[in-house]
A = this chain, B = another copy of it.
């Protein structure tokens, strides 16, 4: 495949999205002002908004960027783990230990709360991000059931939600307390639950 260098305009656009992701993830979409974004990018208002049709569009693209980074960080090293139970456990560990480069906590949690009663475009992106995460975990569980690593009869959606909810809720506590303790406790609880309720012990 031939690599084409992105145009100057495309590079600038990407840089704005990246700065907006960092700004909005810390301050929220209402709290992150155009002035902040001008300062972060060194661009004038016109230089920013000629790349986007609206603040909503920029917010959606910034969320996608932030989510992509977070999602990738959580899946670090998963491919080299053959067993699906261990893979799910590593995903949980990654959530606690591998923080994405974009500051401000989990973009999904932030955006879910932020777009809850206001920005339907952004809310739609958050809903799809959640769906993607649920699907990723569910597919690991389903594969584990097929391979005999995970017990039959596990409710894949329910377990995926249990993992996501425990981690996101613990992140809320951890950020308020400025301590990772709640996150580490949540991971330990999930690991224990997975070992006793999920892993097919007969196979060992």
- A48 to B113 CA separation, bound complex (whole angstroms): 27
A126 and B176 within 8 A (CB): yes
* A25-40 vs B, Cβ < 8 Å mask (1 yes, 0 no): 0111111000000000
How many chain copies does the complex carry?
2
Chain B binder among A57-65, A76-84, A103-111, A136-144:
A103-111
**Please, which residue of chain B has its CB at the minimum distance from the CB of A23?**
B117
Binds B, one of A2-10, A12-20, A165-173: A165-173
Q: How far is the CB of A18 from chain B (nearest CB, A)?
A: 17
B161 touches A165 (CB 8 A): no
Q: CA of A80 to CA of B158 in the docked complex: distance in angstroms?
A: 32
Chain B residue with Cβ nearest A188: B158
Within the assembled complex, what's the spacing in Å between the Cα atoms of A108 and B177? 13
Q: Chain B contacts of A26 at CB under 8 A?
A: 116-118
Given A110-B113, A165-B172, A166-B162, A177-B127 contact (CB < 8 Å) = yes
Interface residues on chain A, size class: 35 or more
The A interface is mostly helix, strand or loop, or mixed, namely helix
Chain B residues with CB under 8 A of A194: none
Tell whether A165 pairs with B173 under 8 Å between CB atoms, given A105-B113, A105-B116, A113-B114. yes
Residues of chain A at the chain B interface (Cβ within 8 Å): 26-31, 103-105, 108-110, 112-114, 116-118, 123, 126-127, 130, 158, 161-162, 164-170, 172-173, 175-177, 181-182, 185-186, 189, 193
